[in-house]
């Protein structure tokens, strides 16, 4: 089942892309994640890189980047995760509307396990994930709009 959210943030596409793909900052703004880090000694997110995200409930999901275009798109698929997920994939798109305004689109494709109950469990799982994603969007927007002016000022001072 596909879940989509589209929203605007008063920050540059580069800043938002970098922020959302920086695993050292993820727990500062991401309401779904209490801990996140790259795997296999990777130094930064990139195509083929894997990461682990751990939620407040202690459940962990390992993902792999299937697409990575800086300042534009990051897409992942689940490598391993909580039993309830049969399939999880997500994509984040960033479209600069100006130097200080970006349209962001989060898209997730989720299927629940066990497959014989997927017809009833997937809509329930997606409903919960959609609500959590809405909280995540509010938190990301607030964090980015609070931090972006300071980041811009320090870059302009250089």
pLDDT in tens, 23-51: 999 999 999 999 999 999 999 999 999 99
Q: Using 50, 70 and 90 to split pLDDT, how confident is the model at 77?
A: very high
Residue 155 in this model has a pLDDT that exceeds 60 = no
What's the CA gap between 62 and 37, in Å, rounded?
10
Residue 154 in this model has a pLDDT that exceeds 60 = no
What's the CA gap between 55 and 60, in Å, rounded?
6
CATH of the domain at 59: 3.30.530.20
Structurally, how many domains does the chain consist of? 1
What's the CA gap between 57 and 155, in Å, rounded?
38
Residue 15 phi/psi, 5-degree rounding, is: -60, -45
Q: Which domain holds residue 60?
A: 2-157
pLDDT digits (tens, 9 = 90+) for 12-28: 999 999 999 999 999 99
**How do 60-69 and 2-9 pair as beta strands?**
unpaired
What's the CA gap between 97 and 99, in Å, rounded?
7
Whether the model clears a pTM of 0.75, i.e. scores above it, the answer is: yes
Q: What is the mean pLDDT of residues 134-141?
A: 95
Three-state DSSP class for 98?
Answer: strand
Residue 153 in this model has a pLDDT that exceeds 60 = no
Residue 89 in this model has a pLDDT that exceeds 60 = yes
Q: Using 50, 70 and 90 to split pLDDT, how confident is the model at 134?
A: very high
Which pair of structure tokens corresponds to residue 107? 């898209």
Which pair of structure tokens corresponds to residue 63? 């993902």
Q: Name the average pLDDT for the chain.
A: 93
């Amino acid at each position: 089942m596909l879940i989509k959210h589209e929203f605007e943030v008063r920050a540059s596409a580069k800043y938002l892309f970098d922020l959302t793909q920086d695993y050292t900052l993820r727990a500062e703004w991401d309401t779904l994640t209490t801990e996140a880090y790259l795997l296999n000694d990777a130094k930064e997110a990139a195509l083929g890189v894997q990461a682990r995200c751990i939620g407040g409930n202690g459940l962990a999901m390992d993902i792999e980047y299937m697409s990575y275009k800086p300042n534009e798109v990051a897409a992942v698929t689940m490598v391993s995760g909580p039993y309830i997920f049969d399939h999880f994939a997500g994509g984040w798109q960033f479209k600069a509307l100006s130097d200080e305004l970006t349209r962001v689109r989060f898209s997730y494709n989720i299927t629940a396990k066990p497959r014989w109950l997927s017809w009833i469990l997937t809509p329930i799982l997606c409903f919960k994930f959609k609500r959590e994603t809405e909280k995540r969007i509010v938190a990301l927007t607030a964090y980015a709009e609070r931090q972006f002016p300071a980041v811009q000022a320090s870059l302009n001072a250089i």
